[in-house]
Amino acid sequence: MDFGAPATNASGIHDIRIVNISPLGLMGRVPTTLVAGERLMFDLPHVRRVESVVRWVEDGRIGVEFVRAIPADHYAMMLAFMPQRKTRW
């Protein structure tokens, strides 16, 4: 998985490249500096707005925990809407 999703916090809108996602959180690449403990509001396909907390930051990557888990049926539908990762062979 590798797709962009907008996330909003007090300092504005950030384009985050999501590398891995689960119903409980995600790991992503960020072009800006974020810190652990910050709250982010993600706009995800089908699920829409998801509130989250940055749990760790390392070398341009973040780990985020969702405040509320994404329900299983919404998670499955979200995955169906996400673009497939393009593999370069």
pLDDT tens track for 23-82: 999 999 998 889 999 999 998 888 889 999 999 999 999 999 999 999 999 999 888 877
Do 75 and 38 form a contact (C-beta atoms < 8 A)? no
Q: pLDDT (tens digit, 9 = 90+) per residue, 6-28?
A: 899 988 998 899 999 999 999 99
* pLDDT tier at 89, thresholds 50, 70, 90: low
CA dihedral 44, 69, 84, 55 (to 10 degrees): 80
Alpha helices, DSSP H, located in 1-89: 72-81
pTM, two decimals, is 0.84
* Whether residue 87 has pLDDT greater than 60: no
> Which CATH number applies to 3-81?
2.40.10.220
Q: How confident is the model at residue 1 (pLDDT cuts 50, 70, 90)?
A: low
